[in-house]
Amino acid sequence: GENVEQHPSTLSVQEGDSAVIKCTYSDSASNYFPWYKQELGKGPQLIIDIRSNVGEKKDQRIAVTLNKTAKHFSLHITETQPEDSAVYFCAAGSGTSYGKLTFGQGTILTVHP
């Protein structure tokens, strides 16, 4: 089955700096790569996603890049703000199973004012 590795496990930045989180996946059949933000005691919220026919996608301060050959994708957050502090999860969706996602281990992002 699919295996998703996420790094780093914790990331501490100063407000205004950029943050980058990286994930690798194992199943070449995966074609959907979402990123979720989870705040304490809440369910994950989708912040951005990318599909295998696109190399990069941007939404304001958030961007995701995908390298299908190397089987890795990354989340980039620019101009970080304290409210960006949360746990971020990457995931990979297999095209062989409707909607099924495998999650990475998570990254605790702390943005210091």
Partner 1 sequence: GAVVSQHPSWVICKSGTSVKIECRSLDFQATTMFWYRQFPKQSLMLMATSNEGSKATYEQGVEKDKFLINHASLTLSTLTVTSAHPEDSSFYICSAPLAGVNEQFFGPGTRLTVL
Cβ-in-10-Å burial (0-12, 13-18, 19+) of 13 comes to: middle
Rounded CA-CA distance 37/41 in Å is 12
CB of 24 to partner 1, least distance (A): 15
What phi-psi label fits residue 99: left (phi over 0), alpha (psi between -120 and 50 degrees) or beta?
left
Q: For residue 98, state whether it binds partner 1 (rule: CB under 8 A).
A: yes
* Closer CB to partner 1, 5 or 113, in the complex: 5
For residues 8 and 107, give the distance between their C-alpha atoms in angstroms, rounded to a whole number.
6
Tell me how long the chain is.
Answer: 113
32 is a contact residue toward partner 1 (CB under 8 A):
yes
Say whether residue 53 binds partner 1 (CB under 8 A).
no
64 lies in the site for partner 1, by CB under 8 A: no
89 touches partner 1 (CB under 8 A):
yes
Choice between 18 and 97, CB closer to partner 1: 97
Write out the residues near partner 1 by the rule CB under 8 A.
31-32, 34, 36, 41-46, 49, 89, 93, 98-106
